Amino acid sequence: MPDIVAGGIYMSAVKIIGKNKLDGSVRIQGCKNSVLPIIAASVVSGGRSVIHNCPRLSDVFSSIAILRDLGAKADLCGNTLTIDSSGVNSDTVRPELMSAMRSSVIFLGALLSRCGAACISMPGGCDIGARPIDIHLDAFSRLGVDVDSRGTSVCCSASNLHGGSVALPFPSVGATENIMLLSCVGRGVTTIYNAAKEPEIEDLQNFLNGMGARVFGAGSGVITIYAAKKLYDIEYTVMPDRIEAATFACAAAAAGGSVYMNPVVPEHISPVLNVLEGCGAKVVRYASSLLVVSDGMLNCAPFVATGPYPGFPTDAQSLVMSVMSVSHGSGVIVENIFENRLRHAYELCKMGADISVHGRRAVINGGELHGAHASACDLRSGAALAVAAFAADGETRIDKAEYINRGYDGFTEKFRSIGANIEGMNDDG
Ligand code: EPZ
């Protein structure tokens, strides 16, 4: 994708020489898991959306490619994304664009709202699990959407769309967001019970209401949407990325040093910060920023179990596994959200980590790590391998680093600015 290369964010591998302390301050990017549904939501209004604090990520460029293919105009200048969705003339996201990222499923609700019909190909699973969309489609059906899923494609019609109540069997983030986009324009009142409570849901609610929607309850588990007749132009600033903040916090804890992160909403990652404090790191929570100080000599967290917000975020699970791998003592991690999100343990073992995996549980015996040649399994495990490499003795090369490009804007530059010996390499080398 030319934008990625042009944006200078493309890298296929990362090389790190460990044992440098991390000292300094970093600016936290706009939130990937907020901006992606917000970009899809911009299709609903048929107007102009100016989105500030937009991170320059390959997933954002993939979303821009989908917008343009649908007929919208979309341009990212610095960290401001300007979208004009008046020209949307298609209700179908082409398979080759769908497959670039999982969250393209979120265009389903937006296109149904805007066009009354939508066709996507199944977003497919990835290395962390099957990632079906049954919860999305069951909820859509209960709200009158005619769902025709054949093979790998899903085509829907909203000609009989009506309000109603849907109770999610699991507080799925994507399903909650898709129902919000489906129900925000048209007629009737829709209530989502057992809705996801993640902060990104609240950011989407604020964006929709800024366009003239009437969505209430984000963060509470019960979301009520009063369908509006029309949505309007908006200028909006995306919230900070709590998982990027967790990444820098874990890196500071593992490598040692003092890292100040801004902007951060500390309570958005309380479970992660509590674990790091329990390991012996010093955490200072300011109103909208965060400081983590560590001597790098940590005690292993005894037990970490991921869960829906406000539980321990699954996206920080691999990051904390890296911290535990370089700590003193033993601990257990249980991954309750995705069925296959412990694969990075095997990559950490290449660096000398002592980790055994049994189903959704990993048992970690902390100790010293050494540099190695490892591969990212998904976006967050790529970052987690870097966290381990900062604390490891010697050189580590992380392949499949394009995963990191998906979720981190300026990953190597930011870590280099606080003292890490890190270099991004593209296919040439
Ligand atoms: C979002 O994915 C995030 N992605 C993920 O972040 C995050 O890990 C996840 O929420 C959980 O917090 C974006 O926001 C773009 P789910 P999503 O629907 O919406 C199962 C990252 O690294 N499920 O809450 O796909 C599913 O298989 C990414 O930034 C169904 O069974 O997550 C999983 O086991 C990774 N059927 C669980 O629910 C469905 O219809 C949670 O999925 C939907 C989900």
Query: What's residue 87's pLDDT?
Result: 98
Please name the residue whose Cα sits nearest to atom 16 of ligand 1: 172
Measured distance CA(269)–CA(414) in Å, rounded:
20
Nearest to 192 by CA among 212, 163, 232, 213: 163
Query: What's residue 390's pLDDT?
Result: 98
Measured distance CA(426)–CA(424) in Å, rounded:
7
| Residue recorded with tokens 């497959």 | 99
Measured distance CA(266)–CA(173) in Å, rounded:
20
Evaluate whether 326 touches 352 at the Cβ level (below 8 Å).
Answer: no
200 to each of 63, 100, 119, 193, 241, how far by Cα in Å? 17, 21, 25, 17, 9
Query: What's residue 152's pLDDT?
Result: 84
pTM of the model: 0.96
Query: What's residue 313's pLDDT?
Result: 98
Query: What's residue 6's pLDDT?
Result: 34
Query: What's residue 124's pLDDT?
Result: 61
Q: Which atom of ligand 1 is nearest to the CA of 136?
A: 40
Measured distance CA(118)–CA(330) in Å, rounded:
50
Buried b (16+ CB within 10 A) or exposed e, 135-148: bbbebbeebbbeee
- How many angstroms is it from 227 CA to the middle of ligand 1? 25
Nearest to 110 by CA among 160, 51, 35, 178: 178
Query: What's residue 9's pLDDT?
Result: 56
Residue 162, SS3 per DSSP: coil
| Largest interatomic CA distance in the chain | 62
Evaluate whether 390 touches 21 at the Cβ level (below 8 Å).
Answer: no
- How many angstroms is it from 222 CA to the middle of ligand 1? 18
Evaluate whether 219 touches 193 at the Cβ level (below 8 Å).
Answer: no
Ligand 1 binding site (Cβ under 6 Å of any ligand atom): 32-33, 36, 102-103, 129-136, 170, 172-175, 196, 314-315, 337-338, 379-380, 407
Q: Give, for 33, the enclosing helix (H) or strand (E).
A: helix 32-45
What separation, in Å, do the N-terminal and C-terminal C-alpha atoms of the chain show? Answer: 18
Please name the residue whose Cα sits nearest to atom 8 of ligand 1: 315
Please name the residue whose Cα sits nearest to atom 6 of ligand 1: 315
Kindly list the averaged pLDDT for each block of 10 residues, start to end, along the chain of length 429: 44 95 98 98 98 96 96 98 98 89 89 96 75 94 94 92 97 98 96 98 98 98 97 98 98 98 98 98 98 97 98 98 98 96 97 98 98 95 98 97 93 98 82
Evaluate whether 154 touches 119 at the Cβ level (below 8 Å).
Answer: yes
Residue 87 half-sphere exposure toward CB, CA atoms < 13 A: 10
* Cis peptide leading into residue 313 (ω within 30°): no
Rg (CA), the chain: 21
- How many angstroms is it from 262 CA to the middle of ligand 1? 26
Evaluate whether 135 touches 172 at the Cβ level (below 8 Å).
Answer: yes
Query: What's residue 127's pLDDT?
Result: 76
Q: Which atom of ligand 1 is nearest to the CA of 380?
A: 22
DSSP characters for 84-144? Answer: EGGG----B--HHHHTT-GGGGGHHHHHHHHHSEEEEE----BTTB----HHHHHHHHHTT
Query: What's residue 426's pLDDT?
Result: 82
- How many angstroms is it from 337 CA to the middle of ligand 1? 8
- How many angstroms is it from 241 CA to the middle of ligand 1? 16
Residue 126 annotated to the active site:
yes
Instruction: Choose, from 31, 77, 115, 126, the residue flagged as catalytic.
Output: 126
Q: Which atom of ligand 1 is nearest to the CA of 308?
A: 12
Please name the residue whose Cα sits nearest to atom 43 of ligand 1: 133
